[in-house]
């Protein structure tokens, strides 16, 4: 099951839930205040080991329009 990140506007907190893909857009109850919370876009990095050693291969942080092979300049 995928891990999704949610944000609660009522208490300004973020939390993660393991949920089936069929429920990814359903509101989730905040573990702190039980308010309905919306799913947000999560940031992540993936690394791979190749001939040149360990390299960053994917970053998802809102720089999808970047044409560079590295998103280091987007931060």
Span 1-10, mean pLDDT? Answer: 93
pLDDT given at position 61: 47
C-alpha 11/C-alpha 20 separation (Å) is: 25
Structure confidence at residue 49 as a pLDDT band (50, 70, 90): confident
Q: Is residue 68's pLDDT more than 70?
A: no
Query: What letters, b where the CB count within 10 A reaches 16 and e where it falls short, cover 6-32?
Result: bebeeeeeeeebebeeeeeeeebebee
11-15, 38-42, 46-50: segment of lowest average pLDDT: 46-50
The residue extents of the domains of the chain are 3-40
- What percentage of the chain's residues is helix, strand, coil (to nearest 5)? 10, 45, 45
Handedness of CA 65, 23, 10, 32 (dihedral sign): negative
pLDDT given at position 71: 47
């Amino acid at each position: 099951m995928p891990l999704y990140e949610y944000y609660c506007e009522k208490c300004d907190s973020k939390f993660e839930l393991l949920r089936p893909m069929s429920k990814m857009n359903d509101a989730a109850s905040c573990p702190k205040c039980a308010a309905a919370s919306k799913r947000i876009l999560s940031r992540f990095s993936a690394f791979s080991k190749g001939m040149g050693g360990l390299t960053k291969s994917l970053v998802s942080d809102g720089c999808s329009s970047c044409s560079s092979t590295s998103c280091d300049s987007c931060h």
